[in-house]
Amino acid sequence: MPNRRFWMMWFGYLGAAGLWYASVKWLPIASFRRLPDPFTVITEWLSPNPKYGISIFTHPYYLHILHSTYRAIAAFLLATLLGVPLGICMGWSRHFHRYATSLLGLLRPVPPLAWVPLAILIFSGTESAVIFVTFLVAFFATTLNTVAGVTSIEPDYFRASACLGASRKDILFDVIIPGAMPNIFTGLQIAMGAAWFSLAAGEMIAAQYGLGFLIMESYNLIQFPTIVIAMATLGIVGFLSSALIRMLGNRLMRWREQSLGFAG
């Protein structure tokens, strides 16, 4: 039975759409008129024979989605495989931490997107360059959150496992990894979101396929409804990937659910 919240939500959506429509059609500002209105966008998106060639029924649409998704996943996996172990080392060993913090602190302020031109020059190809930049963002988010996770573990757990006879390897698997998991997963979600953000930008600046590229291309070809379609798709895919990670985290950390009384 749909309750009040449900109706309010749709009221909100309708209101936003109405605002959009109104600002495009009725506001006396010339530049607003150039924006596409909601109806055009929706009909274009769902049409089997779209005017500008991109809709849920066309092949290129999924091609772009696939390209973007592939890049995002590749970068994300690389970032996780490198970032989590690095974060664990940094969190566990104070010496290692001192080595790494300065280096990371030096590289971190450089906005990832500023790396794009250099990356293209070094990697001599836009594909790797875009993945590299996306990787960088995700990497920092993952590493920092992992470090925070490890350092937040109560020292008593380390002591308990030591007096119960655990070796260093045991401590890694019995205390550090489970203890840091909540923070690691928060980091992964942030990394995924940041990855999409960087990816979109990277694609807009310098790629051949993908949703970011689609946005720029539609702009250049004056196919405005497609711009919005691509934007919306980016939003949806980004949201789904973060949600997937969150769900995975909840399954791996069943013990947390039961103690906190609600899902992650």
Cβ(54)–Cβ(60) under 8 Å? yes
Contact status: 218 vs other proteins (CB under 8 A): yes
Can you list the alpha helix ranges (DSSP code H) found in 152-253? 155-163, 168-171, 177-206, 211-220, 224-252
If one counts every other C-beta atom within 10 angstroms of the C-beta of residue 57, the result is: 13
Return the residue of 147, 200, 207, 229 that touches other proteins, per CB under 8 A. 200
**Rounded Cα–Cα distance for residues 202 and 112 (Å):** 10
Looking only at residues 22 through 51 of this chain, which bind other proteins when binding is defined by CB under 8 A?
29-32, 34-35
Contact status: 21 vs other proteins (CB under 8 A): no
**Rounded Cα–Cα distance for residues 21 and 235 (Å):** 20
Looking only at residues 125 through 184 of this chain, which bind other proteins when binding is defined by CB under 8 A?
154, 156-157, 159-167, 170, 174-175, 178-179, 181
The region of 46-54, 78-86, 143-151, 207-215 touching other proteins under the rule CB under 8 A is 207-215
Judged by beta carbon, residue 151 or residue 161, the one nearer other proteins is 161
**Rounded Cα–Cα distance for residues 210 and 227 (Å):** 13
Return the residue of 123, 151, 246, 264 that touches other proteins, per CB under 8 A. 123
Judged by beta carbon, residue 49 or residue 242, the one nearer other proteins is 242
The region of 52-60, 71-79, 82-90, 192-200 touching other proteins under the rule CB under 8 A is 192-200
Contact status: 1 vs other proteins (CB under 8 A): no
Judged by beta carbon, residue 49 or residue 168, the one nearer other proteins is 168
Judged by beta carbon, residue 48 or residue 164, the one nearer other proteins is 164
Task: Take residue 198 and report the two structure tokens written for it.
Answer: 């960087």
Count the site residues for other proteins by CB under 8 A. 88
Tokens 């497609």 locate to 226
Q: What angle do CA 185, 142, 102 make, to 5 degrees?
A: 145
Contact status: 224 vs other proteins (CB under 8 A): yes
Residue closest to 229 by CA, chosen among 32, 50, 11 = 50
| Smallest separation, CB 71 to other proteins (Å) | 13
177-206 helix and 211-220 helix, angle to the nearest 10 degrees: 20
Binding mask 44-83 for other proteins (x = CB under 8 A): ----------------------------------------
The region of 48-56, 57-65, 82-90, 91-99 touching other proteins under the rule CB under 8 A is 91-99
Residue closest to 125 by CA, chosen among 199, 18, 207 = 207
Return the residue of 60, 117, 152, 247 that touches other proteins, per CB under 8 A. 117
**Rounded Cα–Cα distance for residues 240 and 232 (Å):** 12
Binding mask 230-259 for other proteins (x = CB under 8 A): xxx-xxx-xx--x----------x-xx-xx
Can you list the alpha helix ranges (DSSP code H) found in 35-152? 38-46, 59-92, 94-107, 115-123, 126-151
Which three-class secondary structure state does DSSP give residue 161? helix
